[in-house]
């Protein structure tokens, strides 16, 4: 069995000083993501289209409001001919509004779809930049459950942004359309108080603004805690899902160790935190409902109460009263958009925070404190691999080679060993460029790209042929070559499954997976190979098969094996030693914004 990672001491999170990102930062981040999206023109034209539909709908609403006066006056006069005529007018207006509403619904759905496409593609693109996913995964809380932020949170943000954005635009256009109507209607309102006449210009406009403004202020005061409560809930939901996935991936080990009770307790604990977060949200929503529902009931009679003094004094007709009430309701409905959507706004704010901070982290994944040094990477014209005074920094000190100046020439086979805890995997990741913090120089052979073999191999979902050709070898191997290599590592039974798709990391045992990884390595014919403890896990027969295959298939390849050194000394011609200097300056914390990352710790058993 392979050793546990020997740099577990460096796996503890590094302390950081976090500066919260602002709403301005978060909105600017999302705007940059959308500006660079391939669907940005589609989003722009769809937005223009929905604005045109909303403007046309507002014109129809104004016509419908004007229709109120002749319709109700016809009812008051009991004029059947005028009543039937107004019904035909209503049918024309309502038919047009129906078509516009359906068109708006379709455009709304298309904007939601394209917005999610733009956000998710951008996050995936940023996440899959070279080594970013690895560094982010070791960056603390911001790197936990990135799948939820890219899949669930991005989708939720797209839905909320579309609904709230379209609703706000519609409310603003309706407000502009009906403020003038309501101002004109209320310009003739005269109050008679004790023989004195008092005219208030735009009386019903001011009444609507005061009424909606008071409701909005109270709603924000009561509903503001929902922002942090929703953000906390999404975090707890992610933890619960992560625990369930972890249990599902380890069901065999759980069954063998009779660990069902422990797994159940862990899941119940995570579920309890989710339910607790939901209870706090529901309590806050109930408090908010007291405000919004109270204003909702008052709104049923509020416009009539506002206009009733003028109606009872005889200054307007019943039809005029209903027209004024309709205009007041439209203005008030536009002004109370904030009240109606305070819960969704809080949810949107929390979701924006999660998605934007995640993207900020992706943008700033290489940012560290200015005082932190980085390992220099150069190319050697003579085609050798060199290490010059290389020191790999970690929170526990530094990892380095016992020799300060090391040169490895093409075709050499080098065994690099070290005591447990010396930082062998950390050294491997530094050569691969995944861990750039430290000092010294790594000189890579010019024009060559080394192949790195981690302890735990990675196989994409697909056919076995695609797995063996991944990633982008010089040329696809023939079936005969593939079958021969598989036979040499003891996997000849897989030769008949080259075109069968599967989850090979689930179908094959650990030893078979490592053998398949070395078979893939042989088919790619690299000139330089660097291995991290992958050979240590083989038993005797498997190790002999793999070394024999490497001897035959890669005779001129330089191979650096980092591990315990318990292998065939005839295969490796030279040995180097890794040492740990605990007295060296440790990696310091960085001051970051929320979303940026601290110097990443090395996590145990993480696939690279």
CA-CA distance, 437 to 345, in Å (whole number)? 41
Task: Provide, rounded to the nearest whole percent, the portion of the chain with pLDDT above 70.
Answer: 83
pLDDT at residue 372 above 70?
no
pLDDT at residue 134 above 70?
yes
Would you say the C-alpha torsion 509, 515, 518, 522 has a positive or negative sign?
negative
So what's the pLDDT on residue 471?
53
Look at residue 585 and give its three-state secondary structure.
coil
Task: For residue 1, give both structure tokens.
Answer: 């069995």
What lies within 8 Å, CB to CB, of 24 at 6+ separation is: none
pLDDT at residue 2 above 50?
no
Cβ proximity of 226 and 281 under 8 Å: yes
Give the model confidence (pLDDT) of 205-234 as tens digits.
Answer: 777 777 777 877 887 788 778 878 887 888
pLDDT at residue 430 above 70?
yes
So what's the pLDDT on residue 56?
92
Helices 80-127 and 40-77, packing angle to 10 deg: 160
Q: Which of 203, 173, 178 has the alpha carbon at shortest distance from 64? A: 178
CA torsion angle 431 437 443 445 (round to 10): 40
pLDDT at residue 369 above 60?
no
Look at residue 598 and give its three-state secondary structure.
coil
Give the model confidence (pLDDT) of 220-278 as tens digits.
Answer: 788 778 878 887 888 888 788 888 888 887 777 778 777 788 888 888 898 889 898 88
Q: Select the highest-mean-pLDDT range: 36-45, 190-199, 564-573, 579-588.
A: 36-45
What lies within 8 Å, CB to CB, of 69 at 6+ separation is: 317, 319, 320, 322, 323
So what's the pLDDT on residue 453?
92
CA torsion angle 282 284 285 286 (round to 10): 90
Mean pLDDT along residues 178-199: 67
Mean pLDDT along residues 173-200: 69
> Would you tell me how many other CB atoms lie within 10 Å of the CB of residue 43?
17
So what's the pLDDT on residue 180?
73
Give the model confidence (pLDDT) of 54-83 as tens digits.
Answer: 899 888 888 887 888 888 888 888 888 888
Q: Select the highest-mean-pLDDT range: 160-169, 333-342, 346-355, 599-608.
A: 160-169
pLDDT interval class at 557 (50, 70, 90): very high
pLDDT at residue 15 above 80?
no
Cβ proximity of 1 and 382 under 8 Å: no
Phi, psi of 163, rounded to the nearest 5 degrees: -65, -45
Cβ proximity of 105 and 33 under 8 Å: no
Q: Which residue has the higher pLDDT, 97 or 436?
A: 97
Computed over every residue of the chain, the mean pLDDT equals: 80
Q: Is 525 left (phi over 0), alpha (psi -120 to 50) or beta?
A: left
């Amino acid at each position: 069995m392979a050793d546990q990672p020997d740099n577990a001491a460096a796996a503890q999170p590094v302390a950081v000083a976090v500066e919260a990102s602002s709403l301005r930062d978060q909105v600017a981040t999302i705007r940059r993501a959308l500006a660079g999206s391939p669907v940005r023109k589609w989003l722009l034209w769809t937005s223009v289209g929905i604005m045109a539909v909303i403007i046309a709908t507002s014109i129809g609403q104004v016509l419908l409001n004007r229709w109120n006066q002749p319709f109700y006056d016809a009812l008051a006069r009991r004029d059947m001919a005028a009543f039937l005529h107004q019904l035909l007018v209503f049918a024309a207006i309502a038919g047009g509004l129906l078509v516009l509403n359906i068109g708006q619904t379709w455009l709304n759905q298309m904007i939601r779809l394209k917005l999610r496409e733009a956000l998710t593609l951008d996050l995936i693109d940023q996440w899959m930049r070279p080594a970013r996913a690895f560094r982010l995964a070791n960056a603390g809380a911001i790197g936990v459950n990135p799948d939820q932020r890219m899949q669930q949170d991005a989708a939720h943000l797209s839905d909320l942004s579309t609904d709230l954005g379209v609703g706000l635009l519609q409310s603003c256009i309706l407000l502009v359309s009906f403020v003038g109507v309501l101002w004109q209607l209320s310009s003739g309102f005269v109050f008679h108080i004790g023989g004195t006449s008092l005219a208030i210009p735009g009386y019903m406009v001011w009444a609507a603004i005061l009424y909606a403004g008071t409701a909005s202020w109270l709603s924000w005061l009561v509903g503001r805690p929902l922002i942090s409560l929703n953000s906390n809930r999404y975090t707890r939901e992610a933890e619960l899902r992560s625990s369930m996935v972890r249990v599902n991936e380890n069901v065999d080990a759980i069954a063998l160790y009779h660990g069902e009770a422990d797994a159940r307790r862990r899941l119940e604990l995570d579920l309890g935190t989710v339910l607790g977060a939901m209870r706090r949200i529901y309590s806050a929503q109930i408090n908010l409902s007291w405000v919004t529902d109270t204003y909702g009931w008052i709104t049923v009679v509020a416009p009539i109460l506002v206009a009733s003094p003028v109606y009872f004094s005889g200054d307007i007709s019943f039809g005029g009263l209903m027209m004024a009430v309709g205009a007041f309701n439209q203005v008030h409905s536009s002004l109370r958009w904030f009240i109606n959507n305070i819960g969704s706004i809080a949810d949107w704010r929390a979701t924006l925070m999660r998605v934007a901070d995640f993207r900020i982290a992706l943008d700033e994944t290489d940012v560290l404190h200015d005082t932190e040094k980085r390992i220099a990477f150069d190319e050697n014209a003579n085609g050798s691999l060199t290490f010059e005074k290389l020191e790999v920094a970690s929170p526990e000190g530094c990892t380095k080679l016992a020799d300060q100046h090391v040169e490895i020439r093409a075709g050499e086979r080098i065994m690099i060993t070290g005591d447990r805890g010396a930082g062998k995997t950390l050294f491997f990741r530094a050569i691969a460029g995944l861990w750039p913090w430290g000092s010294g120089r790594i000189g890579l052979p010019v024009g060559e790209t080394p192949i790195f073999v981690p302890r735990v191999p990675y196989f994409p979902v697909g056919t076995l042929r695609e797995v063996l050709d991944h990633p982008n070898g010089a040329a696809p191997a023939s079936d005969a070559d593939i079958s021969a290599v598989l036979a040499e590592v003891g996997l000849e039974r897989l030769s008949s499954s080259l075109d069968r798709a599967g989850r090979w990391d689930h179908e094959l045992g650990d030893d078979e997976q490592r053998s398949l990884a070395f078979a893939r390595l042989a088919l790619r014919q690299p000139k330089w190979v660097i291995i991290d403890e992958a050979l240590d896990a083989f038993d005797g027969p498997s190790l002999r098969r793999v070394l024999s295959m490497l001897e035959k298939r890669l005779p001129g390849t330089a191979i650096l094996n980092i591990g315990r050194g318990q292998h065939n000394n005839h295969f490796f011609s030279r040995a180097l030693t890794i040492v740990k200097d605990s007295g060296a300056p440790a990696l310091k914390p960085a001051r970051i914004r929320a979303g940026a990352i601290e110097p990443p710790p090395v996590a145990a058993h993480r696939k690279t």
